Every structure is written in C-alpha cells, then in structure tokens.
Copies of this chain bind each other. A is one copy, B any other.
Amino acid sequence: MSGDEHQPAPRGSYAKGVARRQEILDRAIEVFAQRGSDRTSLRAIAEEVGVTHAALKHYFGSLEELLVAVYQESERRGDDEPSADQDETPVEALRRWTESNREVQGLVQLYSTLVATALEEGHPAAREFATSRFARVRADMARRVRHSQEAGRIRADVDPEAVAALVIAASDGLQTQWLLDASAPQDAALALLDQLLAAPRA
C-alpha cells in the first residue's frame, strides 16, 4: 500500500491537525448522509463544513480522496457493513446490511459513484479503494461461508470463493435495482439466494 502520499503526514504530534481533519470528516459525513452524492463539489462541501475549499484540499489531497475518506470512515463507524456475528447465514448478514442502507441512502449513492469511478482510468484513489474493498469483503464472506458449511447450514458442494463473489454481486446489484425502483423484489431475491444455498434437508 506504500502509505499515504499526499497527507500533512501526521508523524510526530500534529494532534491539532489530525483532530481538525477528523472534525472536517465528521461534518462531511453528516452532509453526505443527508443529501446524496449530488452537490458534491469540493467547494460546496467546504462551504457546508465551514472552511474554504483550499483547506479541504490541504487535508485530503483531492476531491476523490475526500470522498473515499468519507465512505471509509462511515463504514468504519458501523453505519454500514455486516456485523461480525458468525451465527447468521451469509445472506442474512447481507440482508441486515441492505436494510440499514435504506436509511443512509446518500452513502449508498456515494458507494456507487466511487465504484463507477474506479472502473475508469486515471482515478487511482477510487480504484485502490474499490479493489481492496472487494478483496476484503470477498475474503470475509468466503470465511463466513465456510463457517456456515461446517455448521451444516450451507450445502457443502459449492466453492466458498464463488459463493462469496456471487452473494456480494447479488447484494450490490439488488441494492441498485431497489434504489431505482422500490418495487424490485430485493427481499424475495435475497431470500431465494438463501434458499438455493441452504443445505438440503437430510
């Protein structure tokens, strides 16, 4: 990963600077949770937060890196993301996740924007974010699948890695469909996937 490349480099005790950055990040997260990914210019965010756009640049390096930081921080706080509860089925965990996402639509929009940006060339911050996030979430999900297989809740004849990729893809895609059309059978489709993956009754 080679460390941050642009930051004020909080080596030593730049406690003031770090705290200020955190303050700004906190405000920015609120802004995003409220209104969506729209109206997200560096200048608009700066005004909302109460600093100049140059100050945001100073702390985050670029708009793209600010967006990544906002999403990652909100994820870290558990505004997002499945819990570590190992006793639920992988799909159950995702369902809880999508449910909580309905209340923070702005962050879901931000997630979609970041992933779409990552697919383009010349956006290293978004690319790095999306790549490492998918790798992490997929590994996490694969572990969860193996656990469920050992517990006899998921059929044993499927590859955990493939299941992980499939389940995460389905979750992302269903969330998109649901945001565009609330009548899309998001819950039914997730329940179906759960059913399909369930270990056959002996």
Q: Do A36 and B120 touch (CB < 8 A)? A: yes
Binds B, one of A10-18, A41-49, A52-60, A185-193: A185-193
Binds B, one of A1-9, A21-29, A71-79, A171-179: A171-179
Number of copies: 2
A104 within 8 A of B: no
Q: Separation in Å of the A23 CB from the closest CB of chain B?
A: 26
Mask: chain A, 191-202; 1 = CB below 8 Å from B; 0 = not:
111011100000
Residues in B neighbouring A168, C-beta threshold 8 A: 173, 177
A51 within 8 A of B: no
Q: Do B184 and A165 touch (CB < 8 A)? A: yes
A to B CB contacts below 8 Å, 28 in the list: A36-B119, A36-B121, A37-B119, A37-B120, A38-B120, A38-B122, A112-B115, A112-B116, A113-B120, A116-B116, A119-B179, A131-B180, A131-B181, A134-B184, A138-B184, A158-B195, A159-B192, A162-B188, A162-B189, A165-B177, A165-B184, A165-B189, A166-B192, A166-B193, A169-B172, A170-B170, A170-B173, A172-B172
Question: A residues touching B (Cβ–Cβ < 8 Å)?
Answer: 36-38, 108-109, 112-113, 115-116, 118-122, 127, 130-131, 134-135, 138, 158-159, 161-163, 165-166, 168-174, 176-177, 179-181, 184-186, 188-193, 195-197
